[in-house]
Every structure is written in C-alpha cells, then in structure tokens.
Amino acid sequence: MIEEINKLAQQQHELAWQAYRAYLPVVEDIEATQTNDTNQISLVLDYMLGFCFDAQMLTLYRRLCRYLYAIHPETAVFYVNAYREMWDEEGNQFGNNKEANR
C-alpha cells in the first residue's frame, strides 16, 4: 500500500514537471509579445491551475497573474481567488494570511 502511494506521488510530481516545462515557454511568450488578450491568458491560467499543487507551477501561475493584473486587475483577482479556493484556503501562498507575510 505504501509503495503504491509513493508511486502515485512520484507520478504526480513527474506530471507537474512536464506541465511546468510545457507552460513555461507559453508564459514567456505572453510576456515577450506583451499579449493583452485576456481570453488567451485566462485559458492558460485555467489549464495551469490544476497543477498548482507544485511549487514551480505555482510560481509560474503567480507570475502570469501578476502580468495579467497590469492588464485586467479584476480577472487577475479572479484567478488568485480560484487558486485559493482550490489549493490554499488558508491564504498562505498568495499572502492572505498575516503570518505568511512576515
């Protein structure tokens, strides 16, 4: 049983790494081309959200949220809240918690 759990955890980690490698050039392209298409950015964030259990993907997700915030703050806030609802109800990753800001 423990071996199966370890195997699943390893597969989850590998999948997150593959997703990070796939989305990194997409985010870099959005930034480099200064894309202001909120629909395109939203679609990328929608797909990335499912992998935000991983620290690298979360960093990339936050990076794209910051980029989006400069273009359309309301949409960026929506994605920050979507992350919080799915992965971070305590608010530790996006700074909603006073303890996390110290």
Find out whether 31 and 67 touch, Cβ atoms under 8 Å: yes
Are the C-beta atoms of 93 and 60 separated by less than 8 Å?
A: no
Query: How would you label 39-70 residue by residue, b for 16+ Cβ within 10 Å and e otherwise?
Result: eebbebbeebbebbebebbbebbbebbebbee
- The pLDDT assigned to 70 comes to 97
Domain that holds residue 42: 2-101
Q: What confidence score (pLDDT) does residue 8 get?
A: 86
pLDDT at residue 98, rounded to an integer: 41
The residues of the chain scoring below 70 in pLDDT are 91-102
- Look up the pTM and report it: 0.83
Closest CA to 31 of 42, 21, 41, 45: 41
Domain count, the chain: 1
